[in-house]
Structure 1
Amino acid sequence: MANWVRAAHVSDVPADCGLELVLAGRIVGLFRVDDDFFAMDGICAHQGGPVAKGGICGAVVTCPWHGWQYDVTTGKHELSEIRQQTFPVERRGDELYVDMEAPSS
């Protein structure tokens, strides 16, 4: 069953970095790639860095602590098989909702 949680207003999510949020008790990174929005686990798999506070180039976010990079559309680490959990995002008008019950990876 879905658990859609209001995450942010579209204008709250910058194009050049993510937005770190706490949704349903979890730290989540919300990202904008062109006109699409993606959500993934906001804690870096390497040493727990704040992934969403890193810079984003295209669809790749770089964790500011040690430079680990992830594709925000899939959660996949760029150099290994490690994958961050991702969550479906739905745009309802100018509001963004994240399904915290049904992770997409």
Structure 2
Amino acid sequence: MANFIKAASVTDIAEGAGKTIEVAGKQIALFNVGGKFYAIDNACKHRGGPLGEGEVDGATVICPWHGWEYDVATGANLDDPSVKLGCYPVKVEGNDILIEA
């Protein structure tokens, strides 16, 4: 059975924004896209930039260090889809955002 852990509150992440959180010892980037939440690994595959601090454009996050772009729903790099970040299932219960750990 999946183990979901509270990661944040719905009000912690504005629509069109991201945030870096820690869940079960992992750094995860959590995003709010149109009221739906997505969680991916926080470290960019290029040089480890903090994706939770990146600019969000629709369902794309842009690494603040060197501009690599990722789809927050799939973790795929937009220029090379074979480069993927880990994705984590997310669900919302009430005001709580839960991530599977």
Shift of residue 16 of structure 1? 3.0
Structure showing the higher strand proportion among its residues: 2
Are residues 1:99 and 2:96 paired?
A: no
Identity of aligned residues (%): 39
1:89 is matched with 90
How many angstroms apart in 2 are the aligned matches of 1:17 and 1:88?
A: 18
- Pairwise CA RMSD of aligned residues? 0.8
How many angstroms apart in 1 are the aligned matches of 2:85 and 2:34?
A: 21
1:13-42, Cα deviation, whole Å (9 max, x unpaired): 122321100110010000011021000000
1:30 is matched with 30
Are residues 1:41 and 2:41 paired?
A: yes
Amino acid at match of 1:39: A
TM-score, with structure 1 as normaliser: 0.92
Structure 2 unaligned residues grouped into runs of 5+? none
TM-score, with structure 2 as normaliser: 0.95
Runs of 4+ in 1 over 6 A off after TM superposition: none
- SS of 1:64's partner is coil
Structure 1 unaligned residues grouped into runs of 5+? 101-105
